[in-house]
Amino acid sequence: MEKILGLFTLLIIPLLIINVSCSGEESSSPQSINLWFDGYAEEEQEYGGELQDEMDSFLMLKSEKGARIPVNVDSFGAVGDGLADDTQAFQNAWDVACSLKDAVFLVPENRRYKVNATKFVGPCERNLIIQVSGIIVAPEEPDDWNPKYSKIWLSFSKLNGVKIQGGGIIDGSGSKWWATSCKINKKNPCKGAPTAVTIDSSSGIRVKDLTIQFAQQMHFTISRSEAIRISGVHINAPSDSPNTDGIHITDSTNVAIQNCHIGTGDDCISIVNASKNIKMKSIQCGPGHGISIGSLGKDNSTGIVTGVVLDMAKLTGTKNGVRIKTWQGGSGYVKAVRFENVEMIDVENPIIIDQFYCDSPTTCMNHTSAVKISQVIYRNIRGTSRSPNAMKFACSDTVPCSNIVLNNINLERENGIAETFCNCAIGFDYGVVLPKADCLKSSSCGGTQEDNQKQKHDPIPTHTEL
């Protein structure tokens, strides 16, 4: 009975326009939306303590306590002239730093170290700091790349409680790789290229104050990890460099990204399968393809992403703003997502859900299964759209999007009229919403009833864990 009531309020309350005091606990009213996020750690304090943290580690490095043990790559024979092969020196320095408590793996400033693909593997002794103050640069010739490391350049794995910092630059020298991409030249085989920096199978990692640029493919991937905090990271590649995502998160939980400037040839941030509780705050993106959840569901795969918050972002000249993209034929779900306080400047598709994503040379057929998208809130989003569809909710006919919520949206088109497009998207809006999004309330399609049936069995708010 409660469930049916819940469904009733879900559908009716938005239409009745919103009497603050009367919404039932399980209803989908603006007041109850926060319940969607209950299952996820949301405390703002997660972002606090930043400065203190920074001071701490700064002092630790220099303090008279002298507890820190510097392990300088130069002491292991690194030349740092940008020409010599410093791979072995880095590897040897790593082995020592990793085996010592309170060590600082030090890449000194004002030098340029050429390093081949390398795996920096833990676990290490406690309190390791990786201090990159100089420049680490990749060899630029794809033909000379060790095929054993086709997916990585600098990979950090099995680490626990490590800080990576130092104000230095990690440079993938990617231009020759980009030229070999099948996206640039259709005659090239589509075989991919290394990710510049990977954090894999790790926890409690703090990355701050670094530049990662000109990656061979993706810049910075976080995989199979938890409790990762990234701040003050700058990522930089040309707008026409293929597949050069900024930060890519896969199979990871509790990731916070703050104060990052990202400009690339692909997504500034992409969040894919098996990722949960991802927070992004104060992000600047552009050029690039925007901030994306997905793609998910390729080749009939399962994709699950829950608990994503973007708060305070500025996107400039990007292809998309905030995007959720899934392939036809997938399964799984995207749930409990909030994009808020976002400024869009000349963005082609500022707000977009695309369940017909097809990044393939051949046409993708429609299927009956799809990744289910629900509980997505867009709040305080303003700026300019380059295309007529400032908001586009292109959802699957058989698995419609539900509980799409818009609050305080003001998106204009510089020359012409901005519109909202809906296909099988169900939700509501409140506050000022421009362009108007009435199609969320009237979206009719084959799947709607089936979807509503489903919701009886799976009423919101749900906090199903993975």
Ligand X SMILES: *[C@@H]1O[C@H](CO)[C@@H](O)[C@H](O)[C@H]1NC(C)=O
Binding mask 417-436 for ligand X (x = CB under 6 A): ------x-------------
CB of residue 103 vs ligand X: minimum separation in angstroms?
A: 22
226 interacts with ligand X by CB under 6 A: no
Among 219, 248, 289, 463, the one annotated catalytic: 289
95 interacts with ligand X by CB under 6 A: no
Helices 448-457 & 2-16, crossing angle to 10 degrees?
130
64: helix, strand or coil: coil
Q: Count the site residues for ligand X by CB under 6 A.
A: 21
331 interacts with ligand X by CB under 6 A: no
Binding mask 332-361 for ligand X (x = CB under 6 A): ------------------------x-----
- Rounded CA separation 4/424 (Å): 22
448 interacts with ligand X by CB under 6 A: no
Exposed, middle or buried: residue 279 (CB in 10 Å: 0-12, 13-18, 19+)?
Answer: buried
Contacting residue, 329, 383, 400, 427, with ligand X by CB under 6 A: 329
Largest CA distance in the chain: 73
- Rounded CA separation 211/276 (Å): 26
Peptide bond into 435 cis (omega under 30): yes
Residue type, 38: D
Q: Give residues with Cβ within 8 angstroms of 465, minimum separation 6.
A: 39, 276
Catalytic residue list contains 457: no
Nearer to ligand X, 153 or 178 (CB): 153
Nearer to ligand X, 61 or 445 (CB): 445
Contacting residue, 44, 64, 144, 414, with ligand X by CB under 6 A: 144
Q: Give residues with Cβ within 8 angstroms of 277, minimum separation 6.
A: 40, 41, 253, 254, 255, 306, 307
Nearer to ligand X, 85 or 95 (CB): 85
Residue type, 389: N
119 interacts with ligand X by CB under 6 A: no
Nearer to ligand X, 246 or 447 (CB): 447
Q: What are phi and psi of 64, to 5 degrees?
A: -70, -15
Segment 394 to 413, residues that bind ligand X, using CB under 6 A = 397
302 interacts with ligand X by CB under 6 A: yes
Q: Give the interface with ligand X as residue ranges (CB under 6 A).
A: 85, 87-88, 116, 139, 144, 273-274, 299-302, 304, 329, 356, 363, 365-367, 397, 423
Active-site residues, by number, are 289
